[in-house]
Each structure stands twice: as structure tokens, then as C-alpha cells.
Amino acid sequence: MMQFLSERMIHRVNKGAALLALAVLVLFPLLMVLYNGVAPDGEWLGLEAFSVLAEDRYIQIFINSMLLGIGVVIGASILAAPLAYFMARTELRRHRWIDIVLIIPFMTPPYIGAMGWILSMQSGGYAEQLFPFLAGITPYFFTYFGMVLVMSLHLFPFIYLIMRNTLENIGGRLEEAGLIHGGGFFYRLRRIVTPLFFSGYSMGALLVFVKTIGEFGTLVTLGNRIGFYVMTSQIHTYTSIWPLDFGTAAILSTVLLGVSMTVWYIQQWFVSRKHTKVVSGKGQTRAYNPLGKYQVFAWAYLAGVLFLAIGVPYFSVASTAFMDITGDGLALSNLTFSNFIELFAGSGREALFNSLWLAALAATISVALGVWFAILIMKRNRAPEKTMDFLSLAPNTVPGIVVVVGLIFFWNAFWNPIGVYNTWMMLVLTYVILYLPFTVQNIKAIYGQLGDSLFQASRMSGASSFYMLRKILLPLIVPGVLAGWIMTFTISMRELVGSLILRPPNMDTSATFIYSQFEQGSQSLGMAMALVSVGLTTIVLIVVEHYKDKAQSYRAS
Amino acid sequence: MLKQLKGITGLAALVALTACGGEGEEENGQEANGNDGQEESNEQSGELTIYSSGPGGMAEELAEAFEEESGIEVDLFQSTTGDVLGRLEGEASNPIADVVALASMPPAMEYKQEGLTYKYESEYAGSMREDWYDEDHHFYGFSAAALGLSYNTDMVDEAPADWDGLLDSEYEDQIAIPDPQESGTARDFVSAFIQQEGDDGWELFEDLTANGLQMEGANTPALESVISGANTFVMAGVDYMVYNNIEDGEPVDIAFPESGTTITPRPAFILESSENKPEAEAYIDFILSDEGQEIVADAYLMPGREDIPAHEDRAQPEDIEMLDFDWEFLDENGQDILEEFLEVVR
């Protein structure tokens, strides 16, 4: 009895600590922003502050945001679904390098991707320089569809990774059962694969939607250029252009937060109706539907996606990086390596190094927190867990700039005794907070597929809790942990908004270096940095993927 | 036990975080105490925190030269005006910066009105250009940029003599303007232009829109669109960037139209909340000194002092025709004019 009580106590304390940690990391900073919205200059306005939302232009930008979010979810899903299938079920799955290549679009800073597309598609751009006949098509890029295209190409790796993992874990067992009982291909797809698939997919779609409406780089680079204004670009205006109005920015952010919360709730409800436990410890066979000679179509599709997602933007990035005089356009005589030499001779090297260790540290802390939160969240489904789940998702639902402002309010408050602000630790903290959603959701996605049977079996065999943790739980979630680490590392490497504002004096990261080159220096030097930075990230990914493969060797195939 | 362990892992991470924080706290605490003590005895702390907008190299060069000359240790946060302002606003309850340098006048004026700036009469105040500094000595426009008509020299030989020359149908869909929502200088230009021209000004903007005037993001993207040939002209683009690009061999040049343009002094000021005022004062003196002003001139910006000439390869302040405007009007009507402008151009 005593034993039981103390274990419950510990569980409670643990849960309380997790809630407190999330409150400190996420809730308080966001509340500080909201408070500034409803009480600018310390004067309480309450709900009156929200009345600005009724203005026509806010309704229009709200609609724009939603349209974009929906468009990108559809676009990214269409891009990702065939790839996920090919990589989970066909001959292509032997080629693990494809996974890494497919993450590159996601590693590319969104504003760089958008910039690459703009440089290609603008009048007199690279596309027209190489293929003059394209001049009739390129203007269509500077519309809503162009924005959906660029953002889908940036975010599809997300949905792809989640789709592929889910498809792999669904395994062949259930499908074989369906086959034995005479179910046809489409019947199996409809009754077995699709329902199981959707729980994972809905999480991916949710993240992409939320990420899109909270995205800032592409929308400011491309959206403002074509007059497609959304919530985030408006918030950006209020937070960085005189006269600053943090109050209205906070109100608009609250709206975004509200939308995200609603979508999240719908997704939760949707998932809770389904039985999704697919990793049960029974012999796993992996479904394998070889394509045979039709492989060529799969490869062609892959090539097409890679051409759009990597080829076009990186052609622009590389061309610009190797270009001596931008105004002279594409020509062999205009080729130079001087930008790279300048990059490594100047302050660029230090900025790059800063990014590397900051991102690695942030990813590691983030993963540790992610495991802690995810396991608690998945244990039960009551109010505290739901709160934790939402809080861990919240940083992804509002534009980074809002989180950043909240972080200043909170961590630089005169009453805050912890002197993290204005040191490098603030950057690590910011990355951890901004990307906590990725680690938590990644680990959750894997953890959610673990059935209870393995734990019950081990308990019956007399295993201690610690033994279960070590021998069953951790090995099974390691892929999710590593996937979370990779994602956090990748995006921390290129994080811009937080780094820009929260970096301590005298410190640059690769993203702020690129940004300041674009703003006040040479675009070519910025692009050179982008290339080197993405290259380095790729190398780190290859190393981690290698370990991830090892960790997954339990899957007999 | 299982849960216990999970808790421990998580807690360890949190403890690690707060532990790091704890160390920082101690340091900060000591610093703060140190400052208090020094202020009383009127000694210098030997440290200075500067928040400065660009241009990139110049801010660093000024800080380094100042460090070398004075032995004062400088913490420099260098970014765009918007980011500097955002950070200042976020830190309002607990300010960290001592000296702020911006690329736009209205915020400095607002800061002064709110009593956030500290009055310091520099020995060089007398030799400053008129209207480039605050008469009450709260801020000093130690450098300035003019807005002009930048153009791609591969596409046209010469820029039109005045803004309305852009109405030529030859230039249809070839004209950009920095988005005044993103560029404070473009915003000031639009307001100043309207103050001088009134309804004629609006008419010009309407006609320009009919001729394909496009907003192209902040200053740099707008200029890049001209360098790469996507546009031929940028109206109301900042000049020093053009000169930098000319130096790099890019096919661009800039002209200053007859009916006038704006010159935006870039103000530097000391925050009232600064705990390092002697160092801050020394820094203001330094950027206004001969050495500081030479660094400004080398960055193709116009020096704030009358007796220091601008870079020989660029237009001198005397040669640039000014619009007839005053900053108070811009401060009061800027927002309304901006909104109307957006409606016209969108």
C-alpha cells in the first residue's frame, strides 16, 4: 500500500513538474503577450481590444491565411503521398539516401527557398534566361498558386516522413489477413490502410496547416511582393515597422492561436475514434508491393518532385552564390569562388560554428523534454494531459515573432530572477521552445502506435518498470527520438526570427548572417552561406540517419 | 518506478536549464551591483551596450574603432531598425541598451517625447548640419541617406530628370518602390511628397500605378530587382546601397530628381535608463569626431557634420534637392497617408 501510494505521489509530482515546465516555457510568455494586447500601457481594455478584428481588412487577411493553410495541406499531401508509398512499400525503400534528399527542402530556410523561386521566375530571371519561351508562364507564379506551390514544396517532407513511418508500421500482418480473407487491393486500402493511416496523417496535416498559417519567411518575401497579405505578415508589420504596435500584434496572434487550437481539437477527436495500435510485438512482416518494371514511373515522379523542391530553388541559390556580378546574369565568365573565400575568411565561419553547436544543444535538450512530455501525454487523456499536449503544440501555432516577443517580456522582466536573457542560453531556450512541438509530436506519433501487449507481457514475465523502460520503451521510441532530434537540429540551424532579435550582442548565427547580407550586404555572400549551411546540416543528418537505421534493426525484414 | 524514471530524466533537463540560468543570474547580479556602486562614486564601468541598425560593416567598424580609442568594452547588437525597435520595445520594462542608433527619424522623436532619451550636448553639436540633430541635444543624426531614383544602367542610359518622367509608357511595368510598410524611409518619402505636392502627388501615384508601379519588399529586395533586371527603376530607394553596388561592379546608378526627395538622418541617442552614461557620452562624441565621421563617409553615407565631406564618388548633400516637408507633419499624418497610398497602389 505504501509502495502504491508513493508511486502515485511520484507520478503526480512528475506530472506537476511537467506542467510547470511547460507553463514556464510556453504558457507564461504567451500570456505576457496577450496581456500586453488587452492592456496596452497597463490600461485594461479587456475584450474591447478584439474589436479591431471586425475591420474589413483583417477579415480579408484572415481568409487569406485560411485559404493558404488549406491549399498548402492539399499541395503537400499530393506531393508526399506517392513518395511515402514508394518509400514504404516498393523497391525504392532500399535507397535510404532518398530520405535525406527529401529533407533538404525542409532544411532550406523558407525565405531562401522563396527567394530562389523569385530569382528564377521574375521577369528576366534565370528561367527566362535559360528558356525564353517560359516568359508566358512565369507571371502565374506571382499569385496565390505560386505561394501554395513554394510552401508546399517546403513543407511536404513533414507529411512525407509521418506518412512513411505510419505506412511502415502498419506492417503487412493486417494486410495479409485482409488478403487471406479475399479482400481486393482497393478493399484493403479502404478498410485497413486508410483508417490506420489517417491517425498519423492527420497529425502531419495539422502540423503543416498550423505551420503554414504561422509561417513568416515566405509570406513576407513573396506574399508582400504580390500583395497577398496574411495574418503573419500583418503581425510582422506591427512588430517591426514603426510605429510598433505589440498590442494589435498580440490580438492577431491570439486569433491564430485560437484557430490552431480548434484544428488541434478536431484532430484529437478524429484520432480518438480510431484504433491505431499497430506495434504489438507479434511478428512484424513488412508489406512489400514490388513495382517491377513500373519502377520507372516511381523514379520519374521522385525526380519531378526533387526538380521542383530542390532543383529550381537551389539552382538559383547556387547561381547567385557563384556569381561575380549579379547584373550580368548567367555566364561562365561571371563565375567566381570569391564569395566562399570571403565567407570563411570573414565573420561567416564563426556564425556557422555558433549555429552548429547551438542547434545541437537545443535539439538534445528538446528531445529530452519531448520524451518526458510525450510519455506523460500519451499515458492518459484527461484535462492535464490535454493541456500539456496543447501547450507543447502552441509554439508552432503562432508566428515565431510573437513567441519571441513573449520570451523577451517574460525572461527580461525585472522580476525574473533567472538571468538567461541576453546570453547565448536565451537562443538555446528559444530553439527548444519553438521546436518542442516537433519533438513531442514525433515521439507521440511513434509512441501512439505501441500497443499495451508488449508491456503486459513483460510485466507478466516479472520485469521491473526500469527494465521495461530500458528494454522495450526506449528501443521502440528511439527512431521517433532521433527523428525529433533531426528536425529540431535542422530547423534550429536555420531559425531566423528568434536568432535575430534574441541573440546576445556580438553574436551571429548562420541565419542572421544570411539575413544581414540580404539586408545590407551582398546577396551572393548570403547565398554562399545558405549553401554551406545546408551542406553541413546534410552531413549531420547522414550521420544521425546512420544511427537511426541501426536503432531500427529490431524490425526483422 | 517507470514513471519515476521518466520524471527524473525530464527533471534533470530542467535542472540543467535552471542551473545554467542560475549562473547567469549571479553574474548579472554582480554586474548590477557593480554598476550601482560605480555610479555613486562616478567612476566608469568600462562597458557599453549599443543597439545599432546597419549598414553592417559600418556599425562594427565604429564600435571597434571606439573600443580601440577609449578602452571601453562594447557589446554591439547590430540589426535592422525594425528588429532594434522590436527588441527595445520588448525590453521596455528592463532596458539593457545604453546607446541606440537607428536608420529612421520618427522613432527617435517619439522616444524623446516619451522621455526615454537622455540629453547630452556634444562638443561637436555646433558643427552639425541644421535639422539633422535635435535642438535639445537628445539625438544626433550622425549620418544620413538620401532617397533617389535608382536604375539599371544596362537597360537605360539615363534616369528621367523628375519623378513624373517615370510615366513614360516605355517604362511600363518596370518601376518598383520599396514597400512603405517595410521601409521606414520610403514611408517618410511618400508622406513628404504628399506634404509638398498635395493632390498632384496623389495623382502622380495613381498614374504611376497605371504604368505598373510595384511594391517590392524592403529596400534591398527592391534594389536587387533592379540589379537583376526584373525592374528598371526603383523610386525612393536609399542611395548608399546603390553606391556600394556600383563599387562591386553592378550595373546600377542613382539620380536625384528635380522636384526633390527626402534625406533621412540616422539618429543616435543615449537612453535615459542607461547605467553607463559616461561611456555612452564618449561614444556619441566618438561617432561625431573626425575619425567617426570618416568611417561614416567611407560607408557611402553622408556625414552629419558640415565640415566633413561625403565620399567623393557620391552626390554631396548640397547637390540633392530636398522636398519641402517637416518631420512633425510626417509624424502626425504618416499613418493616414500610408493607408491611402496602399489603397492607391495595391
Q: Chain B contacts of A469, Cβ < 8 Å? A: 2, 5-6
Please answer whether residues B245 and B223 qualify as being in contact, where contact means their C-beta atoms are separated by less than 8 angstroms: yes
Residue range A456-503, pLDDT digits in tens:
888 888 888 788 878 888 888 887 788 888 888 988 998 888 888 888
Q: Chain B contacts of A21, Cβ < 8 Å? A: 10, 14
Query: Where along chain A do its domains lie?
Result: 16-37+58-276+293-554
Nearest CA in chain B to A18: B10
Name the minimum distance, in Å, from the CA of B73 to any CA of chain A.
11
Binned at pLDDT 50, 70 and 90, residue A283 comes out as low
On the question of a cis peptide bond just before residue A243, with omega within 30 degrees of 0, the verdict is yes
Q: At what angle do helices A194-214 and A56-89 cross, to 10 degrees?
A: 140
| All three cell numbers of B131 | 535639422
What is the interface size between A and B, counted as CB pairs within 8 Å? 220
Q: Chain A contacts of B73, Cβ < 8 Å? A: none
Q: Taking CB atoms and an 8 Å limit, are B9 and A368 in contact across chains?
A: yes
More confident residue, A516 or B170: B170
Q: Taking CB atoms and an 8 Å limit, are B1 and A465 in contact across chains?
A: yes
Q: Over 50: is that where the pLDDT of A556 sits? A: no
Q: Taking CB atoms and an 8 Å limit, are A418 and B24 in contact across chains?
A: yes
Q: At what angle do helices A194-214 and A424-447 cross, to 10 degrees?
A: 160
Residue of A326, A368, A505 with shortest CB distance to B227: A326
Output the pLDDT for position B175. Answer: 94
Mean pLDDT of B239-261: 93
CATH superfamily, region B146-263+318-345:
Periplasmic binding protein-like II (3.40.190.10)
Q: Over 80: is that where the pLDDT of B123 sits? A: yes
Binned at pLDDT 50, 70 and 90, residue A428 comes out as very high
Output the pLDDT for position B33. Answer: 41
Q: Chain B contacts of A418, Cβ < 8 Å? A: 18, 21-22, 24-25
Nearest CA in chain B to A9: B4
Q: Chain B contacts of A379, Cβ < 8 Å? A: 3
Name the minimum distance, in Å, from the CA of B82 to any CA of chain A.
4
Instruction: Among A11-15, A163-167, A196-200, name the most confident range.
Output: A11-15
Grid cell 512489400 in the structure block, residue: A288
Ranges assigned E (strand) in A106-152? none
Q: Taking CB atoms and an 8 Å limit, are A422 and B96 in contact across chains?
A: yes
More confident residue, A530 or A193: A530
Mutate to test the interface with B, among A9, A129, A519, A523 (most CBs of B within 10 A): A519
Nearest CA in chain A to B4: A10
Residue range A291-313, pLDDT digits in tens:
778 889 999 999 999 999 999 99
**Alpha helices in A312-399, H assignment, sequence order:** 312-321, 338-345, 348-379, 383-393
- From the centroid of its chain, how far is CA A103? 11
Q: Taking CB atoms and an 8 Å limit, are A501 and B86 in contact across chains?
A: yes
**Which residues make Cβ contacts (< 8 Å) with residue B26, sequence separation at least 6?**
A419
Query: Where along chain B do its domains lie?
Result: 45-144+265-315, 146-263+318-345
**Domain B45-144+265-315, classified CATH 3.40.190.10, yes or no:** yes
Q: Taking CB atoms and an 8 Å limit, are A368 and B152 in contact across chains?
A: no
Mean pLDDT of B43-61: 85
Q: How far apart are CA B7 and CA B4, in angstroms?
A: 5
Q: Taking CB atoms and an 8 Å limit, are A412 and B16 in contact across chains?
A: no
Q: Chain A contacts of B248, Cβ < 8 Å? A: 325, 522
- A400: three-class secondary structure by DSSP: helix
Output the pLDDT for position A506. Answer: 83
Please answer whether residues A167 and A84 qualify as being in contact, where contact means their C-beta atoms are separated by less than 8 angstroms: yes
| All three cell numbers of A55 | 475591420
- Tell me if domain B45-144+265-315 and domain B146-263+318-345 are identical in fold: yes
Residue of B6, B83, B220 with shortest CB distance to A372: B6
User: What one-letter code names the amino acid at A131?
Assistant: F
Q: What pTM did the predictor assign?
A: 0.83
Mutate to test the interface with B, among A25, A138, A242 (most CBs of B within 10 A): A242
Q: Taking CB atoms and an 8 Å limit, are A327 and B152 in contact across chains?
A: yes
Q: What are the backbone angles phi and psi of residue A418, rounded to the nearest 5°?
A: -90, 115
User: What are the CB-based long-range contacts (under 8 Å, 24+) for A174-178?
Assistant: A174/A278, A175/A287, A176/A285, A176/A287
Binned at pLDDT 50, 70 and 90, residue B315 comes out as very high
Q: Taking CB atoms and an 8 Å limit, are A373 and B10 in contact across chains?
A: yes
Residue of B7, B22, B251 with shortest CB distance to A327: B251
- CATH for A16-37+58-276+293-554 is 1.10.3720.10
- B73: three-class secondary structure by DSSP: strand
Q: Taking CB atoms and an 8 Å limit, are A520 and B79 in contact across chains?
A: no
Q: How far apart are CA A489 and CA A537, in angstroms?
A: 8
Please answer whether residues A316 and A114 qualify as being in contact, where contact means their C-beta atoms are separated by less than 8 angstroms: no
Residue of A125, A520, A523 with shortest CB distance to B56: A520
